[in-house]
Amino acid sequence: MAETDVRKMSLFKLGWPIFVQCLLSLCLGYVDTLMISNYNEKSVGGLGNANQILGFLTLAFTVISSAAGVMIAQYIGAKLKEKLNEIYTVSMFFNLVLSGVISFILFIGCDVILKFMKVPLVMVPDAKAYIEIVGGFMFVQAMIDVFSQIFRNNGKTKFGMVIALSMNIINIVGNYMFLYGPLKHLNLGVRGVALSTTLSRIIALVVAIILFKYRIEGKISVKYLWPFPKEILFKLLKLGVPTAGENISYNIAQIIILMMVNSFDSVVITNTKNFATIVSNFAYLYSVSAAVATSIIVGHAVGAGEYDFAYGRVIKSLKKSLVISVAIAFVSWIISPITIGLFTNSNEIIRLSQKVLAICIFLEVGRTANLVVINSMRAAGDVKFPTYLGMASMWGVAVLFGYIFAIVLDMGLVGLWIAMAMDELLRGAVVCIRWKKGSWRGKRVIEE
């Protein structure tokens, strides 16, 4: 197998498969929401709450998988490949154990979690049904996350796109069969959607295993666990805990915000939040793909000691991403009556969504900077600062001002979105200053 020099790849060549993968990954959840909304609109809130809970728990897998991505990129960049098999194996083993623990927690504590989240009683049965099935197979997603990092940081970004495509095709076909097709007489509803989602992930995992076996130079085997490579696990945790901390903090904050939304006990507000989130997420797709592609290049460059090269690629990527993502956010706001109208006929939801999506134009400026710069900081080994900054800003700005605007000042969903935009803009400005100062230099994983 020919070796791929990631540093010589263009951002477009490396990034476009990631863009498609991110688009397809978003679609996997959104197709569920769209199809279930046409089947039974009351089930949308239950599905949205279930995905929020499962999405948060899935973040636990990023503790190791994201750290593995940093180590893989830097070790390949430094041409030190003898440790890669150990990194692959330890990452997979740790995520399998962790996913088993999470599945057990979901099995025994689903009712408690839903009650804590203040999920409206009318939405609880659907949320529980989805969590029980999808949550019981968390280990599949845990393994896919590790394979995704292996493929990306070996420069094989198309593999992730193939996996995401297979998941979406199978999921759409499965949803149709359970909701509208030959299996609709079973009346499974959300439970059928959960079965379809789980099956799509299992088949995607099989595809990932095949691609790894035949297209990646490396092995995953229990023989690399004896004697246990403690130094590899220590490095993974040292990188992964703070790296995942920023994402975990963000999602906890989002859960608190969701609890504020649920406290209004309004189907209009809950569904507007779900629909507006779906539409606004498309605005940052380019930034996500550019951020991930840039971080892969940065990881390889930092591993090779080429710090100036890494600095320049980030600045160039950030400028492009800001222009494109903000333009997409603006267009999303303009056409929101059409896009939101795909999910609902409620004029009240459509009008409220328009207000929220207008705020998203400003939110996107900060979010784009965060995505591009923070991902590159992590790839360079600078993992602690983004976590501390994220925790301070998310809770001190997004949650605190979200409560003040939405609850105290009675601004509702609009107030929550203003607070989230303030949080993203503040963090974006700070990380850009840190990148220009060069505080991330000299923090690579590999010893000098």
Q: What is the pLDDT of residues 43-90, one digit of tens each?
A: 888 888 888 788 878 888 888 999 999 999 999 998 888 889 999 999
Neighbour tally for 293: CB within 10 Å: 28
- Digit-coded pLDDT (tens) for 380-439: 999 999 889 989 999 999 999 999 999 999 898 999 999 999 999 999 999 999 999 999
| Ramachandran assignment for 113, one of left (phi > 0), alpha (psi -120 to 50 degrees), beta (any other) | alpha
CA dihedral 117, 120, 126, 130 (to 10 degrees): -10
**To the nearest whole number, what is the mean pLDDT of the chain?**
89
| Nearest CA-CA partner of 63 in 254, 235, 287 | 235
Distances (CA, A) of 259 to 116, 156, 254, 263, 391: 9, 39, 9, 6, 19
SS3 sequence of 147-167? HHHHHHHCCCHHHHHHHHHHH
Which stretches of 182-306 are DSSP H helices? 190-215, 230-263, 267-281, 285-303
Joined tokens for residue 278 = 């779906």
pLDDT surpasses 70 at 2: no
Q: What is the pLDDT of residues 102-115, one digit of tens each?
A: 988 888 889 999 98
Who's near 348: CB < 8 A, 6+ residues apart? 268
Average pLDDT for 20-38? 78
- From the CA atom positions of the chain, what is the Rg in Å? 21
- Comparing 180-194, 254-268, 327-341, the range with the smallest average pLDDT is 254-268
109-127 mean pLDDT:
88
One-letter amino acid at 201 equals: R
With 0-12 / 13-18 / 19 or more C-beta atoms within 10 angstroms meaning exposed / middle / buried, residue 332 is buried
Over 60: is that where the pLDDT of 1 sits? no
Tokens of 339: 């896009």
Residue type, 240: G
Residue 29 has pLDDT above 70, yes or no: no
Structural domain boundaries in the chain:
9-437
Rounded-to-10 torsion of CA 430, 435, 439, 441: 160
Task: Decide which of 262 and 19 is more confident.
Answer: 19
Confidence of residue 314 (pLDDT cuts 50, 70, 90): very high
Question: pLDDT for 224-271, tens place per residue?
Answer: 999 999 999 999 999 998 877 777 787 788 878 888 888 887 788 888
What is the tens place of the pLDDT at every residue in 129-145?
Answer: 999 999 989 999 999 99
> Cα dihedral angle (160, 134, 35, 127), rounded to 10 degrees?
-140
3-state secondary structure 375-414: HHHHHCCCCHHHHHHHHHHHHHHHHHHHHHHHHHCCCHHH
Query: What's the pLDDT at 316?
Result: 93
The model's confidence at residue 189, banded by pLDDT at 50, 70 and 90, is: confident
Looking at per-residue confidence, does 8 or 234 come out higher? 234
Sequence-ordered strand ranges (E) for 235-355: none
Q: How confident is the model at residue 275, as a pLDDT?
A: 85
How many C-beta atoms lie closer than 10 Å to residue 113's C-beta?
Answer: 18
